[in-house]
Structure 1
């Protein structure tokens, strides 16, 4: 039985190697890193999103474990709840983008994130902190609207290299935010990194109000 399954897997692998996954109709992507003034809002929102991601993935979870003494079992349950909710919710996010647009959806995300970060810093309830963590995980997925915003203003040949730039910007935040936030946590208390996250979220909330204007100025007509 195992030999049959192994042979089928091997044959499937050989079949896959013979396929050409490229789409010849797609525009040829630029081979160089792309920095253009028209993408400034996408760059800046990406940097702020990267900082928020680090606060969520590092400090929110550390808050649950260190401050509220969540066990590995409890954290695993939270992960399972998050994955289950988002399995149903993610398709609805795409529909919401089509219905209300990127600016409104991202405004909802950042307004909610502002409440969440403030809640992390002020709550004394483990139950509230756990609920905030689940809600944080849910609204973070709204950030896909940032990518659809970029796709509306990007030149077709710029999409791949600019996404590479976005990953680089995210890594900049990934290097500095945990170190700085960890030092602040130890020296000034766990609340301060979350208040910093709230301040960054306010900046993001203000900037996303410019999305519709940028789309009107820079939208690339569909082929």
Structure 2
């Protein structure tokens, strides 16, 4: 990076904060998508994992996310932008070396390295976006970044499908290629973009505030239901419906195409309709999807549900912009780390028991997911129509009193 800092708001040309975040998102998505497309088949076909081993793997994978609060301490020795780039390089290395360690312990270890880069990148990316983007346009800009990341996912899945189906690519080269692409993009951002100055100096210690409790609750619920989607929806495709590597790649490719189209529109939807309506719609949709997972018997319907599930995840943009509106500007970085740790409390403790439950009867896992989404719906009604500092929670009693006092 260039030695002289550049104000984030005054950046001109193509080397803008948006472009830097977009490129890092593309790199992160390419490496993660390569791993995501392969890891279930790799675990089942090469290493022989069952539900219990999958639970252990994903518990270990989420530990770095649980420890994401420690990112704020790294900011004592480096800038957020630097930490973001180093995180992209780390996920690239973790994915690149996965195929060279085809054993349970090797897969666990490389997954932790990959996860360390992924979660610290996500923590920093959220913080920087909320600092660099204007509150009025943040949802649509985040939606555009989601869309660009999905295009990267499409490229990863497309290359995997072609090389796997027609050129007989094996796991070693597939993982290696996905990781090297992320490393190359990370180095490009490091060498070509200036250091952007943030408008507000961030606190360099942990921040937990009582008035942020609703954001913490939304984040916790999001982490719990996300694990069911990441682990068990994919496991259902492979174990129940017999999806092969090429089948999973095509499913994920279709999912990425859908996200590319819908994510910018969802961002715009949040700008127009607000965080309250968006979070309510998100959780109603998730309840329907999880209940349908438990009942579905057709692989094509299951694939459609999977894509809808991911689309509702894109609506979690509303959680971030809700906090952007209620939070102190200097709390963006420390709260991003704390939020990711809260998000991963459930992620650390859910996979193993649900993995054991999966081996008894898989539908129970999805009924639990329906209950989690219902809890999320209940707290979504507490999001104010116009969130701001001092207006963090819409208590039902206060709303009723306001309505009765209105002439």
**What is the TM-score of this pair, normalised by structure 1?**
0.86
Alignment match, 2:390: 218
Separation of aligned partners in 2, 1:183 and 1:84: 33
How does 1:69-88 map onto structure 2 within 5 Å?
69-88=242-261
Separation of aligned partners in 2, 1:78 and 1:15: 31
Match of 1:208 among 363, 380, 402: 380
Alignment match, 2:363: 191
CA contact (8 A) 1:121 1:191 kept: yes
Structure 2 unpaired stretches of 5+? 1-186, 393-407
CA contact (8 A) 1:154 1:219 kept: no
Separation of aligned partners in 1, 2:316 and 2:240: 28
Separation of aligned partners in 1, 2:189 and 2:241: 52
Separation of aligned partners in 2, 1:143 and 1:122: 25
Secondary structure (helix, strand or coil) at the match of 1:69 reads coil
Once the two structures are superposed, what CA deviation does each residue of 1:83-134 show, in whole Å capped at 9, x if it has no partner?
Answer: 1111121111121011111111111111111011000101111121111011
Separation of aligned partners in 2, 1:109 and 1:213: 16
Q: Cα–Cα, structure 1 residues 169 and 214, in superposed 2: closer, same or farther, change >3 Å?
A: farther
How does 1:12-161 map onto structure 2 within 5 Å?
17=191, 20-24=194-198, 26-161=199-334
Secondary structure (helix, strand or coil) at the match of 1:158 reads helix
Separation of aligned partners in 2, 1:88 and 1:128: 20
Separation of aligned partners in 2, 1:199 and 1:73: 33
Separation of aligned partners in 1, 2:299 and 2:190: 49
Secondary structure (helix, strand or coil) at the match of 1:198 reads helix
**What is the TM-score of this pair, normalised by structure 2?**
0.48
Structure 1 unpaired stretches of 5+? 1-12
Tell me the matched-pair count. 206
Secondary structure (helix, strand or coil) at the match of 1:101 reads helix
